[in-house]
């Protein structure tokens, strides 16, 4: 699998006023260009009376990067918004910064700072999260070994997804791939190779450490 990456946990918005111009930052996860453009269209529809709806998005798929100044002077709006995503290493995400002009010109430097801030507060509200390559493991454990196996799970920062207590315990856990080899080795040693963790699925997930 690919290396871990940073994206957004969900939808976020925040706003501020700069010299009577109102800036509203919106951010959301977007896995495809269709999702990104649909989000942009929804914000534009919501703010049809706004002076500008500047946007940028970055996708892992084909490393797509797009941005628009939406009528602001070239390089003062869309590029700063894109730069916020790139500097944070955020992908599969879209940001729109809406501006209602307040009557005072901000100048090129002021616009760059304002759109940078608008993007940053939108991203912060959407909460960046790190997605790591992970594996779902499934184990059949007899009750005599259940306690000592669950005792070592926190060491490998696993997330228990399901525990079915039948004749034996069928345990399903999520583990980051970088801990997988160490866990498999300790499990083998701990149970004298009587318990095996079967790999059920590979996926990206947010797992706290």
pLDDT digits (tens, 9 = 90+) for 21-43: 999 999 999 999 999 999 999 99
What's the chain's length in residues? 209
Query: Topology of domain 5-126, per CATH?
Result: Ribosomal Protein S5; domain 2 (3.30.230)
What beta strand segments (E) does the chain contain?
A: 5-8, 12-18, 21-29, 52-58, 65-68, 93-100, 128-141, 159-165, 169-176, 198-205
Say whether pLDDT at 205 is over 60. yes
51-60, 125-134, 151-160, 200-209 — which is least confidently predicted?
200-209
> Per residue in 30-41, is it b (16+ CB within 10 Å) or e — as a string?
beeeebbeebbe
- Candidates 78, 74, 114, 86; CA nearest to 6 is 86
Give me the architecture of the 132-205 domain, per CATH: 2-Layer Sandwich (3.30)
Work out the pLDDT band at 109, boundaries 50, 70, 90: very high
Element (H, E) at 83: helix 78-88
Q: Rounded mean pLDDT of the chain?
A: 95
The residue to which tokens 């616009």 are assigned:
111
Say whether pLDDT at 46 is over 70. yes
pLDDT for residue 2: 67
Q: What are the residue boundaries of the structural domains of the chain, listed by start?
A: 5-126, 132-205
pLDDT for residue 118: 98
DSSP codes joined into one string, 38-81? HHHHHHHHHTTTSSEEEEEEE-SGGG-EEEE-TTSPTTSSHHHH
Work out the pLDDT band at 1, boundaries 50, 70, 90: low
């Amino acid at each position: 699998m690919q290396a871990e990456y940073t994206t957004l946990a969900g939808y976020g918005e925040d706003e501020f006023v700069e010299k009577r111009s109102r800036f509203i930052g919106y951010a959301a996860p977007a896995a495809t260009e269709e999702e990104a453009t649909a989000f942009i269209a929804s914000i534009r529809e919501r703010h049809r009376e706004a002076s500008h709806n500047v946007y940028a998005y970055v996708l892992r798929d084909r490393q797509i990067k797009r941005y628009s100044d939406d009528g602001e002077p070239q390089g003062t709006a869309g590029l700063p918004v894109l730069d916020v995503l790139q500097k944070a290493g955020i992908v599969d995400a879209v940001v729109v910064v809406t501006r209602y002009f307040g009557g005072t010109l901000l100048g090129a430097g002021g616009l760059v700072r304002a759109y940078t801030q608008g993007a940053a507060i939108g991203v912060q509200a959407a909460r960046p999260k790190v997605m790591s390559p992970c594996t779902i493991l499934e184990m059949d454990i007899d009750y005599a070994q259940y306690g000592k196996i669950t005792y070592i799970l926190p060491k490998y920062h696993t997330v228990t997804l399901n525990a079915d207590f039948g004749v034996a315990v069928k345990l399903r856990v999520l583990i980051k791939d970088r801990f997988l080899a160490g866990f498999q080795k300790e499990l083998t040693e701990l149970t004298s190779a009587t318990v095996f963790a079967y790999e059920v699925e590979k996926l990206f997930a947010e797992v706290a450490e």
